Chain A
Amino acid sequence: MNIYLPIAEMSESVLVLLGMGAAVGFISGLFGVGGGFLITPLLIFTGVPSAVAVGTSTAQLVASSVSGAIAQYNRKNVDIKLGVVLVGGGLLGTVIGVEIVRILRQAGQFDVFIALCYVLFLGVIGMLMLIESVQAVWKTRAGQQPSVRRPGEHSWLHGLPFKMRFNRSKLYISAVPPFLIGAFVGFLAAIMGVGGGFVMVPALIYLLRVPTNVVVGTSLFQTVFVAAAATILHAGTIASVDIVLAAVLMFGGVVGAQFGASAGSQLKGEQLRLLLAAIVLLVCLRLGWDLVVTPKELYTLAQSAGGA
């Protein structure tokens, strides 16, 4: 059974799209990640224009992050004040990101740019996670407790102006670093269609020393607002959000996520991270392959009037 996607201007099987949404939802529920880093490349492999893949993926992100954010909020795991600073930066980053997408799309370099971004980010993040989780698994094997949180120490970050007190995080730090982190993550959301949790979470833990229990909730809080802003801007400036495609993916995604989450509670944290690292590196290799290997067809067609 096929469905016609009005913005992507193509016809695709509903079952394939639902399956994609469910598989990515399952993985995102399992690992507690947004899944945007899988949805965008999968859509591109299916033949959806890159810009539409990114724009639609941001809409799917809203759906997949909002339920998690609400659950975390109910458990009082969201530092609203920190979240607002992050969102403020995120909005700025999103505006810049969407503008860059528009410019690159006109220049015809968006496809290559997004592939490069994915290879770079997924490669770095995947390697870091792989190393970290292998070490953690090793340590647990050796009978030691893996330690993540180190005692807070004063660094140059504490010398910056605009100091604010973040009560729930028990921090008294400058608002500049969270604003910049938020901006960077917002930028990633706009150009890659990812929630950026894989950047936000380590940055909050290692750079700002935010307690781990509020990190995930606060990151999800930021994702909801930034993804919403990115969706509206993508739709508003380059008409790259396909609502039909988004609806099908969301439906598959939220269902898959529920099963993923219950499956995730059965696995150990280190094993989960090792598995996630493997998935991230696989996607990275698949995208990198297309950039390096000599293509069978050197030419591509595009509509001249600003099309993808």
Chain B
Amino acid sequence: MRRARFIRLALVAALASAMTLPLLYEPAAVAQTLPKAKRIKPGLATGQPPPAPGPAERIEADVSTRTIAITSGYSGAEILVFGTIENSRQPSAESGFYDVVVVVEGAPEPLMVRKKGRVAGLWVNSKTFNFNAVPSYYAVASTRPLEEFADVAALEENGIGLDAVRMAASAGSAVRVSSEDLIAYKDAVSRLKQAARLFQRDDYGVIFTGRSLFRATIALPATVPVGPLTARVYLFKDGKLLSRFQSRVVLEREGIERWLYAFALDRPFLYGIVTVLLALTTGVVASAVFRRRGA
């Protein structure tokens, strides 16, 4: 009798944990070892008194990792974008003489937005809107909030900032909706992507570490779709765009993950059969193991 009561308790506990387990999910801390930033030529970073107005400033930058491997332990990555301003006339790292913006953007891909509506008392997807091209990922980091140093036209023109992310509506969808609805759909994309950390902004994410050296770390969550990313760096002075730079990062599945994914897509039926065999083996082996232990 007491045994039975214990089991009932254990059961309730098991059920409660089954219901709450998904809530315990925590996005694991990003732990990706990064190669140290390449050393920039010493002459550029130190010493030198600010030169008289002369040669124009130019920006040069690079990313810490050109290829990010998605393996079975992958839980997102961090990339470091770093660079230097040639001919910097900035007196010190803290002077706020220049403004630097770093944009990391994923490949544009088609996207469908669905809107729920009430049908017979139930919330079901009732409307859809198609975009032909929305970047899979968009992160912007700057030395201070964009609005403080650049005008909207310049940001819009260069696709800088979450308000300037290029979203191309499909022709079929665009003619069906009013301009307010179009804005609502774009806002929804931005809001949902931000909630998923696929769109992000960091107003003070770019830091000067010297008169001309700067750096920014950009977090890539595990959900960023596999593919190429572009990293763009802009140099502003008094709201004027002085220079820009572009580089590429590639996200790739590697090892067993790559193999499994290719297997699932290239030989889907064989993949299914292998899964079934795995399941059969697991079931049979488990029952054999436990029967021996129980006997």
Chain A positions within 8 Å of B, measured between CB atoms, are 1-4, 6-7, 9-13, 16, 19-20, 23-24, 26-27, 30, 38, 42, 45-47, 59-68, 70-71, 108-109, 111-112, 116, 224, 228, 231-237, 239, 241, 243-244, 246-247, 250-251, 254-255, 257-258, 262-263, 266-267, 275, 279, 282, 286, 290-295, 297-305
Is there a chain A Cβ closer than 8 Å to B273's Cβ? yes
Knowing A11-B74, A42-B22 are in contact, say whether A299-B274 is a contact too (CB < 8 A): no
Most buried by A among B111, B278, B286, B290: B286
Q: State A267–B102 Cα separation when bound (angstroms).
A: 63
Q: List 19 A-B contacts (CB under 8 A).
A: A4-B72, A6-B264, A7-B260, A11-B28, A63-B279, A108-B125, A231-B276, A232-B273, A235-B264, A235-B271, A243-B274, A250-B278, A251-B282, A263-B7, A295-B116, A298-B115, A299-B188, A302-B111, A302-B112
Contacts of B74 in A (CB 8 A): 2, 4, 11
Is there a chain A Cβ closer than 8 Å to B73's Cβ? yes
Knowing A60-B279, A231-B275 are in contact, say whether A301-B189 is a contact too (CB < 8 A): yes
Sample of 13 further A-B pairs with CB below 8 A, known A47-B25, A246-B278: A11-B28, A11-B222, A13-B24, A13-B25, A46-B25, A59-B278, A70-B287, A111-B125, A232-B276, A250-B283, A298-B116, A301-B188, A303-B111
Lowest 9 A-B CB distances belong to which pairs? Answer: A235-B272, A67-B287, A232-B272, A254-B286, A66-B283, A11-B222, A299-B188, A62-B279, A23-B18
Q: How far is the CB of A234 from chain B (nearest CB, A)?
A: 7
Contact with A along B89-129 (1 / 0, CB 8 A): 00000000000000000000111111111000111110010
Contacts of B279 in A (CB 8 A): 59-63, 66, 228, 231, 246, 250
Closest to B13 in A: A23
Closest to B1 in A: A266
Q: State A246–B264 Cα separation when bound (angstroms).
A: 14
Contacts of A257 in B (CB 8 A): 286
B8-41 interface (Cβ within 8 A of A): 8, 10-11, 14-15, 17-19, 21-22, 24-26, 28
Contacts of A47 in B (CB 8 A): 22, 25
Q: How far is the CB of B284 from chain A (nearest CB, A)?
A: 6
Contacts of B73 in A (CB 8 A): 1-4
Q: Which of B22, B188, B272, B290 contacts A45 (CB 8 A)?
A: B22
- The binding surface of chain B is classed by DSSP as helix
Q: How far is the CB of B60 from chain A (nearest CB, A)?
A: 34
Knowing A66-B280, A70-B287, A236-B268 are in contact, say whether A301-B21 is a contact too (CB < 8 A): no
Q: Are B275 and A243 in contact (CB under 8 A)?
A: yes
Q: State A300–B287 Cα separation when bound (angstroms).
A: 43
Q: How far is the CB of A245 from chain B (nearest CB, A)?
A: 10
Q: Are B222 and A10 in contact (CB under 8 A)?
A: yes
Closest to A263 in B: B7
Q: Are A26 and B14 in contact (CB under 8 A)?
A: yes
Knowing A2-B28, A4-B74, A299-B185 are in contact, say whether A292-B114 is a contact too (CB < 8 A): no
